[in-house]
Amino acid sequence: MTTNDGQRPGAAVLMIVGSCTSLQFGAAIAVDLFDEMGSWGVTFLRLAIAAAVLLVVVRPRLGSWGRGQWAAVVAFGLVTAAMNGFFYTAIGRIPLGTAVAIEFLGPLVLSAVLSRRRADLLWVGLAFIGMSLLGVDSVLGSSSLDLVGIACALLAGLFWAGYILAGARVSRTVPGTGGLAAALTVSAVVLLPIGAHQALPALHDWRILTLAAAIALLGSVIPYSLEIAALRRLPERVFGVLLSLEPVVAALVGLLVLHQPIGLLPALAICAVIAATVGTTLSSSRRESVQTEVDVPGETRVLASAGCSD
């Protein structure tokens, strides 16, 4: 398997692993601040701090961008704001590992849609069976799940799929991480009317502000920078399925940091999601192993097999 830039995918995989780990530890820290600022207040402060850090470090040349580049950046900022806001609302109501497993349906369905293969649709069906186990577990009363939390996790998954598509477009059209810096600024501006008032306690408490800065670094600056770099090396569909570590890391972080136990049925649900993503990834690898290389004067072009998005 080769990546978009002709390299082996090892570096891109490591980037995604680092992103998953950083993001979930940032989410675990964020949960502790929900009682003081609310989920949307924490989301706003996280994105605002992350945007400020990246603007200072990257110093994007905003004036040199064309209309198409700005459209990509704004779209990326909008879906990023919605994805983060609904996800934080979800983990304020249901366990972190469960929320990520539900949210992951977004990238998984996106992968199947981009693939257009019946086998990948069957893998998505397995993931939905896993999600039904969460419903059974809730009905049985062993770990009752908040319906609002489930709905927010599903919405976060929808916007996560949009994040992958919009992020891929930004990675192709805007050089460096300037597009990410501008997109996070758009996200913070969008959330200003909702989260700014809730975030006011941070202005009077250095502990809260320090934790918010840590959340911004772990939950936005580090993972999003790694993901933008990975998206330059991988097709959107492959990127989506390689995020299969997310539910595992989230469940472990929830257990170790937030002391959220993992019941039998939720564990089986998470395993179903993982199995679905691994199955889709292996299917993708088999298809890409039969790619045809066509030599062109001065370069080598790889013609992707049918179903590949790029």
Residues 96-136 have pLDDT tens digits of 888 888 888 887 778 777 766 777 677 777 877 877 777 67
* CA separation for the pair 265, 138 (Å, rounded): 9
Q: What is the mean pLDDT of residues 83-87?
A: 94
Across 1-10, 49-58, 230-239, which has the greatest mean pLDDT? Answer: 49-58
Contact by Cβ (8 Å): 109, 122: no
Reply yes or no on whether the pLDDT at 303 is more than 50.
Answer: no
* CA separation for the pair 137, 198 (Å, rounded): 34
Q: Is residue 165 part of a domain?
A: yes
Which of the two residues, 302 and 36, has the higher pLDDT score?
36
Residues 231-263 have pLDDT tens digits of 777 765 666 666 667 777 888 888 888 888 877
Of 97, 99, 103, 110, residue with least CA distance to 280: 110
Q: Is residue 77 part of a domain?
A: yes
- Which residues form the domain of 142? 10-303
Contact by Cβ (8 Å): 258, 28: yes
Of 184, 187, 193, residue with least CA distance to 78: 187
Across 6-10, 52-56, 114-118, 294-298, which has the greatest mean pLDDT? Answer: 52-56
Reply yes or no on whether the pLDDT at 216 is more than 80.
Answer: yes
Q: Is residue 4 part of a domain?
A: no
Q: What percent of the chain has pLDDT over 70?
A: 78
Tokens of 191: 């959330």
Q: Is residue 220 part of a domain?
A: yes
**For 7-21, 150-164, 200-214, 279-293, which range has the lowest pLDDT when averaged over its residues?**
279-293
* CA separation for the pair 50, 218 (Å, rounded): 10
Q: Is residue 308 part of a domain?
A: no
Of 145, 106, 109, 123, residue with least CA distance to 265: 145
Q: What percent of the chain has pLDDT over 90?
A: 26
Q: Which helix (H) or strand (E) holds 300?
A: strand 299-303
* CA separation for the pair 102, 153 (Å, rounded): 6
pTM for this model (two decimals): 0.77
* CA separation for the pair 103, 156 (Å, rounded): 6
* CA separation for the pair 160, 164 (Å, rounded): 6
For the chain, state the CA radius of gyration.
19
Q: What is the mean pLDDT of residues 178-196?
A: 92
CA distances from 205 to 25, 70, 92, 258 (A): 22, 36, 22, 23
Contact by Cβ (8 Å): 156, 83: yes
Number of independent structural domains in the chain: 1
- Give the amino acid at 114: L
* CA separation for the pair 303, 310 (Å, rounded): 9
Q: Is residue 2 part of a domain?
A: no
Q: Is residue 261 part of a domain?
A: yes
